[in-house]
Structure 1
Amino acid sequence: MFNRTIARKYTLRREIGRGGMGVIWEAFDQALRRPVALKVMTPEHVTSDSARRRFEREATAIARLRNEHIVQIHDYGIDEDCPYIVMELLEGEDLEHRLARERQLSPSATLALLRQIAAGLQAASSAGIVHRDLKPANVFMARKEPGECVKLLDFGVVWTLFEGSDEAQQSSFGKAIGTPAYMSPEQVRAVAPDHLSDLWSLGVIAYRALTGRPPFVARGVGELLISICTDPFPPPSSLVPALPPGFDGFFARALAKDPAQRFQSAREFVAAFAAVVEVSSGPTKILVVEDEPDVALMMRLQFRQKIRDGVYEFIFADNGEAALHELRRHPDIDVILTDIKMPVMDGLTFLGRVPEVNPFAKTVMMSAYGDMANIRCAMNQGAFDFLLKPIHCADLEATIDKTIKHVAELRRNARSDEENKILRQFTSAALVERIREMGPAIALASEAVMATVAFIDIFQFTRVTKERPPGEAMRLLRANFEVIVPELMAKGGVVDKFLGDAVMAVFQGPEHLSRALSACVIVRAQMAAVARRAGESSPYAQGICVGLSTGQVLSGSIGSQAYGRLDYTVLGEAVNAAAHLARAAVPGEILVDAPVREAAQALFDFEEVGARSLLPGAPPVDVFNVVRRGPAALLADCEPTVRIPTTATMP
């Protein structure tokens, strides 16, 4: 294709790379007399309608993003039935080549890199765009004046959140899209992606940059997928002892299996990383934002002894914009003293920007007595306190001391929250919610409620426990539950308990039956998809057997209160029925009884399985397998209203 002219204006000069669906060429734009990068779809993809739609979606999605850290699109078109994308031509190298050459980067170099990647991700996230294939090969360090500029490349598998999903996007459901080593657990399970998946990939990139290896390493793809969903990763300090100790906690959050436990934005991710890089046991940092130079002199004189003793360190800025820059440079700032009326960016605007850079820092507003309207506005926006000008030294010292103590308490509470998260992993979620809503004493009370109960059993997993070492067998069982539990919770189910190799989930509240059925159908599909990807030797290949029943259950605490050994659970016919149905099911079946089929037959498709004996010696009863969600359920976004029977009829 050398010297071929595309669209009568782009002359191909040399091949410079290959992406997921296309070949990238250096080309010359004859109209504007400039070099460009031109991506041409490969012949094997040209005949695919879905590939062509993805290619076009890549062009239109990136073209909307006017951000210096995302490669810019100049043109898109079709030449001789072959789609092409014209982009800015970059000179430099991608991060994959740099890491292969240098192996590791310093924390400060990694921070500089992450700041720019995060800026691109934040722009994409704000536009409702998920990259889905963030990896070092798609992070390009372009040579610019005066230094390097990081650019995100290859949005070929981009996902758009805010627009109506087209057929090409819908067809990707159930498919793991991305590069395995950088895929999040939810990508492994092939659920609809969001920006938190990109932040997971960013965490993997940061981990590899600091340690020289990815956090999850395995012999094959199937084993790697299990490890991503199930295994802990080596703390960075175990690989590079010289790293600041705070990185272990940082990556515990950045690579949390549960998306809700991760950093929730690229800004928060980078701010936390910067805090680890720059935080020390040094002085308390106080940022003073004031355009009057006399204030800086007054602060230095008033606190000269504490500055000399290393108790306080003052940082000064003359407007809100400069102050934001200092906040990013010093993420361990605890106290901010800011004027309201300043040039460039006023104090009220700055106040609203502080939490996105540093969620712990507290702001004290400084203003004249006659400016009470602005002071009230500042307090309503979250200012911690205010000082009236002219500032009295005693009042200033007391306010700073009070603010420092408050921030220290916030940081202690944050650490306690992390500890509580660990404890909650070993406590009934239903009990935690009940105590939080109603208090410890009321949580011990019992009540009768309408609910749907689902038992999801890993088929013949007992055989695995006999064939594998204990630690490996438990790891493989957890690998299954890591796929099952998120979908149960996503539909409002509460994991009541794990009974050996089965999980019992309870759905209460509006439309509990339809939500439970939808969750089980999705879990079955995801388990089958993961089993296909991981291979026949993976733990997912065992298959799942599901039983589901609905009706009135008794909810409450059981056990010995006198000896402090209690559990919170549900009891009743529906519980027994679901357990028996799961026991009677074969892999891939979601068995229900006649009342469930009757209540949900307008929204789900069922097939009659026939009569099965649910208990030894008991007469067989007719049971039904849930085949799929019907058109009405899909139209109702899988949360339809169904008529719930008042009792469950199961021997």
Structure 2
Amino acid sequence: MADDVFGIVGTTQGAFKVERVVAEGGFGVVYRAYHEAFRAPVALKCLKVPGTLPEQLRAQFLDKFREEAELLFRLSAAIPAVVRPLHHDVISTAGGVFVPFIALEWLEGSTLASHIAARAAERRPPLSPIEVIRLLTPVARALEAAHRFPGPSGPTCVVHRDLKPANIFLAQTHGAEVVKILDFGIARARDAATVMAGQTATTSGGLSTAFTPAYGAPEQWAPKRFGKTGPWTDVWGLAVTAVEALAGREIIAGDHVAMMGTVLDEKRRPTPRSEGVLVPDALEGAFRRALAVDPRDRFRDLGAFWDEVEQALGLPQSAPPIALPGRGPAPRGARRPSASPAAPRSTRALDLPGAGLTLPASFADEATRELDLPERGGRLPAHSLPTEPVVPLALDWSPPAPPPFARPSYAPSRMPPPMMARAPARPSLSAADLMAMFALPVRLAGAAVVITLLDLGAASLLFDGERIGVGPLRLLHLAVGLVVLGIGIAVFRLFASDR
């Protein structure tokens, strides 16, 4: 069980009576608490801020923390798949520890990572391609909306940067199973806090780890080579998450050096087929592009990636939960598809969608803008290469708008059986075509019947049972030959019509 590192279990912090520790991560501790005003359980995510953070920088951190918490509240209000924050504040412990926290809605359920592990432990097959895509569609469309979230001064780009099965929660809400995204912006909060404190989180091998290594994109491993993170980073994270659900196991494993080698190896892409999952060519192609090493070869827009995925499986095209520039309004009354896997139900606190932070102005303007990647073949300008993979939430980035069209609504329906490939449709034939096709075979069969009757009648009436023929050949032999010929012609014409 996780430790109560802040020593607040059993205490009351404002309106929250802290009951127990639920989980602990590298940047925070999740507590279950009781909201005495609402008379309901909540999840408290308490952030581990470096103790070396000076008082002045603490104030700057809190200002950014408040701003991004407000943006996150607006994001969750517009996008149902984003877990909802309820309150944010700071706890001052008896030992004087500085503990910023966010209170979140409490949900019952389990993470996608737990669901995958449970299926493997029970020796059940992994989820089928259609099951995985339908389950992750709310996540994909929520991210598409977050990347171009409407704001007072134009679209705002909100990038998750740590998408993985552990940050996708399969929750039970009012008797229905819904999908929630956890930890929106927590990576940026961690980056900002450590940079403000003049620290860099490193692994035992000396590599920077401002992300989860098994799901880190190439630009997170090598920012000086590939540039800053952006929407293309979430394309990578969602693709790796989907492949892991298809394979039923972690697909990028080993120590940090081995994982980095796998991620940056252009000859080995962790696509479904490379992990032993049979999928249609079009679906494999979409994942190969989504998992390209160079971000310039990857989908720049997550919506475009998911459009190709749905088209490859023949699924109805889903829509983002809000109207986006160039995408048309969200269909009126359209419901977001939700996953319904038979996941083991356990009581879990939702992990925090933390506040994504920008660096203060003193940390250079170049570090607070998204990188506009040049076309393939060009080199990144030296002045635009970031020294830290820190990305703000609010930025003036707007991807190129695709050709306008009205996006049809997506309504979840009864899930069809797994589909690996779509067989081409056979051409339809009219009654006239069938009559023309089988006219000759029918005539030959009719002639054979007439010959057989003549042979039998002549043999019994005229020749005392002697069959008509020339030498060893009999009329009956001719009748059989006509039948065989008719059958052959019919089969040939039938197969020729399918081509």
2:9 maps to what in 1? 2
Contact 2:50 2:194 survives alignment (8 Å): no
Which of 118, 143, 167 aligns to 1:101? It is 118
Aligned: 1:328 with 2:318: yes
Which of 245, 255, 262 aligns to 2:298? It is 262
* Aligned positions of 1:18-417 closer than 5 A: 18-42=24-48, 45=50, 48=53, 53=62, 59-65=69-75, 66=77, 67-80=79-92, 81-103=98-120, 104-126=126-148, 127-155=156-184, 157-159=186-188, 168=196, 175-190=208-223, 191-217=227-253, 219-231=254-266, 232-233=268-269, 235-240=271-276, 242-278=278-314, 327-328=317-318, 353=327
Q: Secondary structure at 2:138's aligned position in 1?
A: helix
User: 1:169, 1:123 → 2: CA distance?
Assistant: 33
Which structure would you say has the larger Rg?
Answer: 2
User: 2:374, 2:111 → 1: CA distance?
Assistant: 41
Structure 1 residue 269 displacement after superposition: 2.2
Q: Secondary structure at 2:38's aligned position in 1?
A: coil
- Report the AA paired with residue 85 of structure 1: I
C-alpha RMSD of the superposition: 4.1
* Aligned positions of 1:231-630 closer than 5 A: 231=266, 232-233=268-269, 235-240=271-276, 242-278=278-314, 327-328=317-318, 353=327, 518=383, 522=385
Q: Secondary structure at 2:186's aligned position in 1?
A: coil
> What are structure 1's unaligned runs of at least 5 residues?
280-325, 330-348, 358-487, 496-504, 506-514, 527-651
User: 1:60, 1:493 → 2: CA distance?
Assistant: 37
Structure 1 residue 55 displacement after superposition: 5.8
Structure 1 residue 255 displacement after superposition: 0.5
User: Identity over the aligned pairs, expressed in percent?
Assistant: 30
Contact 1:216 1:233 survives alignment (8 Å): no
1:550 maps to what in 2? none
Contact 1:139 1:152 survives alignment (8 Å): yes
Structure 1 residue 266 displacement after superposition: 2.7
Q: Deviations over 1:160-219 (max 9, x none)?
A: 9xxx999759988995421111111111113432111011101100111112244444x3
User: 2:197, 2:330 → 1: CA distance?
Assistant: 31
Structure 1 residue 234 displacement after superposition: 5.2
Q: Deviations over 1:463-497 (max 9, x none)?
A: xxxxxxxxxxxxxxxxxxxxxxxxx99579966xx
User: 1:142, 1:156 → 2: CA distance?
Assistant: 20
Structure 1 residue 105 displacement after superposition: 1.5
Q: Secondary structure at 1:202's aligned position in 2?
A: helix
Number of residue pairs matched? 304
Q: Deviations over 1:137-179 (max 9, x none)?
A: 111111123521111112353449xxx9997599889954211
Q: Secondary structure at 2:32's aligned position in 1?
A: strand
Q: Deviations over 1:271-324 (max 9, x none)?
A: 222122227xxxxxxxxxxxxxxxxxxxxxxxxxxxxxxxxxxxxxxxxxxxxx
User: 2:175, 2:282 → 1: CA distance?
Assistant: 32
Structure 1 residue 99 displacement after superposition: 1.0
Structure 1 residue 64 displacement after superposition: 3.0
Give TM-score, length-normalised by structure 1: 0.41
Structure 1 residue 233 displacement after superposition: 2.3
Q: 1:492 to 1:205 in 2, by over 3 A?
A: closer
Contact 1:237 1:247 survives alignment (8 Å): no
Q: 1:46 to 1:93 in 2, by over 3 A?
A: farther
User: 2:258, 2:325 → 1: CA distance?
Assistant: 48
Structure 1 residue 112 displacement after superposition: 1.8
User: 2:231, 2:27 → 1: CA distance?
Assistant: 23
Q: Secondary structure at 1:64's aligned position in 2?
A: helix
Structure 1 residue 59 displacement after superposition: 3.1
Q: Secondary structure at 1:264's aligned position in 2?
A: coil
Structure 1 residue 85 displacement after superposition: 1.1
User: 2:188, 2:313 → 1: CA distance?
Assistant: 33
Contact 2:160 2:234 survives alignment (8 Å): yes
Q: Secondary structure at 1:35's aligned position in 2?
A: strand
Contact 1:105 1:210 survives alignment (8 Å): yes
186-195 or 172-181: which moved more? 172-181
As a proportion of its length, which structure holds more helix? 1
Higher relative contact order (CA 8 A, sep 6+): 2
Structure 1 residue 94 displacement after superposition: 0.7
Contact 1:99 1:212 survives alignment (8 Å): yes
Q: Secondary structure at 2:82's aligned position in 1?
A: coil
Q: 1:32 to 1:490 in 2, by over 3 A?
A: closer
Contact 1:215 1:233 survives alignment (8 Å): no
Q: Secondary structure at 2:183's aligned position in 1?
A: coil
1:596 maps to what in 2? none
User: 1:63, 1:167 → 2: CA distance?
Assistant: 25
- Report the AA paired with residue 300 of structure 2: Q
Q: 1:492 to 1:198 in 2, by over 3 A?
A: closer
Contact 2:132 2:242 survives alignment (8 Å): yes
Structure 1 residue 516 displacement after superposition: 6.2
Give TM-score, length-normalised by structure 2: 0.52
Structure 1 residue 351 displacement after superposition: 13
As a proportion of its length, which structure holds more strand? 1
Q: Secondary structure at 1:224's aligned position in 2?
A: helix
